[in-house]
Amino acid sequence: MKTNVLLNNGVKMPLLGLGIYAPGEKNEVRNAVSHALELGYRLLDTASIYQNEEEVGQGFKDSGLAREKVFITSKVWRDEQGYVQTLRAYDKSLKRLQTDYIDLYLIHWPVRTGLKETWQALEQLYEEKRVKAIGVSNYYEPHLKELFEYANVIPAVNQFEFSPFLYLPNVVNFCIDHKIQPEGYAPLVRGEKAQHPVLVDIAEKHRKSTYQVLIRWSMQHNVVTIPKSVNPDRIKANFDVWDFQLSPMEMDSLDQLHDGTRVADDPMTYL
């Protein structure tokens, strides 16, 4: 299975990465990032609201890897939106990450105020080559259609919640039809479905954990996948998904598990 996807502007993005959430204690995220990079992860997903960009930057520095070897994503938060505010937020993220560019910069949520100006700021950053690619997060079809009315640059990525229990083929297909790479967060549903009998049965057949099956399912839908963890053993297990493949029948049985389970807001409430 390929390890990268090609974005609509020719930039390569890893198919599997480390999702990073708010740290529980000092250096927790720094150590998680350093460990993940040592294991072979090359995609790090953070955001200003997570308040961990400094530790992500430190963890990357600890790795000793060249900057171009690691794909770093960050996001502009709701209260940072607007043209000038977004440019300012980007500069702050750069400073915290201790880098001179971000690979992918996203609008975190489609809030109602200042979206157009925020996207124009992202286009400005892209035109100035200060960011390799720009995109959105938590956008469904109506949000994307509205964006298309004023965008000069089509988003390279749309990141949204994605698991068999929140299987959204319409969103995925709409993105693919418009050459936008889908990226899924919360693939493990925060552990809520770990003992689901369909998952357990498939996991036992492959001698894998149910979490590894969930990650593999997302990847086989060609969706960039970013499971979150700061636990070293889980980080390692979440990356150990390259040596097995789900059959078409197994993929289909997992596709049928959709029950609307969410761990984050429903983007349709942002209309």
Calculate the dihedral angle through the C-alpha atoms of 148, 226, 1, 6, rounding to the nearest 10 degrees. Answer: 30
pLDDT band of 213, cuts 50, 70, 90: very high
Q: What is the pLDDT of residue 268?
A: 97
CA distances from 86 to 78, 82, 214 (A): 10, 6, 34
pLDDT at 21 over 90: no
pLDDT band of 98, cuts 50, 70, 90: very high
Q: What is the pLDDT of residue 226?
A: 98
Instruction: Set out the domains of the chain in order of their start, with CATH numbers.
Output: 4-191+222-231 (3.20.20.100)
CA distances from 236 to 14, 112, 154, 167 (A): 16, 39, 34, 25
pLDDT band of 24, cuts 50, 70, 90: confident
In tens, the pLDDT along 261-270 reads 999 999 999 9
pLDDT band of 224, cuts 50, 70, 90: very high
Amino acid in the structure at residue 262: R
> 53-63 and 28-39 helices cross at what angle (nearest 10)?
40
pLDDT at 94 over 80: yes
The predicted model scores a pTM of 0.97
SS3 99: coil
* Run of H or E including 239: helix 232-239
- Taking the C-alpha atoms of residue 192 and residue 188, their distance in angstroms, rounded to an integer, is 8
SS3 49: helix
Mean pLDDT of the chain: 97
HSE-CB at 144 with a 13 A cutoff on CA atoms is 27
Query: What tokens appear for 41 in the block?
Result: 């992860």
- Taking the C-alpha atoms of residue 125 and residue 105, their distance in angstroms, rounded to an integer, is 9
Contacts of 38 (CB under 8 A, 6+ apart): 63
Q: Which of 50, 90, 126, 167 is catalytic?
A: 50
Note if 83 is an active site residue: no
pLDDT at 9 over 80: yes
Pairing verdict, β 12-14 and 4-6:
antiparallel
Contacts of 154 (CB under 8 A, 6+ apart): 8, 148, 178, 179, 180
The phi-psi region of residue 221 (left if phi > 0; otherwise alpha if psi is between -120 and 50; otherwise beta) is alpha
